Chains A and B, each alone.
Chain A
Amino acid sequence: MKCPRPIIEVARRIGEVRVGSLLEVLADDPAAGPDLAAWCRMRGQTLVASDPPRFIVRRES
Chain B
Amino acid sequence: MLKEARQAWLETQQAGWGDPMRLHRPGRLAAQALDQAREVVAAAVGGRPDEVIFTASGVHASHAAVAGLALGRRRVGSRIVTTAIDHSSVLAAAAAAGMHEAVQVDHEGHVDLNGGTTAVGTAGTAAACIQVANHEVGTLQPYVEAAEICRRADVPLVLDATAGLGRIDLSDAAGWSLLTGWAGAFGGPASVGIVVIKKNTRWRAPYLIDDYQGGRWPGVPDVPAIYAAAVALDCWLQSGRTVGERQHDLVDQLRAGIVQRVPDVDVAGDPVRRVPHLLTFSALYVDGETLTLELDKAGFAVASGSACSASSEHPSHVLAAMGALTHGNVRIGLTWTTTAAEIDQFLTALPPIVTGIRATVGAS
Contacts and interface: CB of A to CB of B under 8 A. Distances in A.
A3 B364 contact: no
A55 interface: no
B264 A42 contact: yes
Interface string A1-33: 011110110011000000000000000011101
A5 B284 CA distance: 11
Interface in A29-48: 29-31, 33-35, 37-39, 41-42
A35 B315 contact: yes
A2 B72 CA distance: 46
Interface residues of B, number: 26
Contacts of B56: none
Interface string B294-323: 000000000000111000011100011001
A30 B317 CA distance: 11
A33 B325 CA distance: 10
Given A31-B306, A34-B320, A8 B315 contact: no
Contacts of B361: 4-5, 8
A34 B319 contact: yes
Contacts, number: 69
Given A30-B314, A31-B307, A34-B326, A3 B266 contact: no
Q: Which of A2, A5, A30, A35 has the most CB of B within 10 A?
A: A35
What interface size band does chain A fall in?
A: 10 to 19
Contacts of A38: 266, 282, 323-326
A3 B272 CA distance: 31
Contacts of A39: 284, 325
B136 interface: no
Contacts of B285: 4, 7-8, 11
Contact of B266 (A2, A33, A42): A42
A32 B263 CA distance: 21
Interface string B270-299: 000000000000101111100000000000
B325 A35 contact: yes
A40 to B, nearest CB: 10
Contacts of A31: 306-308, 314-315, 320, 326-327
Interface of A: 2-5, 7-8, 11-12, 29-31, 33-35, 37-39, 41-42
Given A4-B363, A34-B320, A39-B284, 4 more contacts: A30-B307, A31-B326, A38-B326, A42-B284
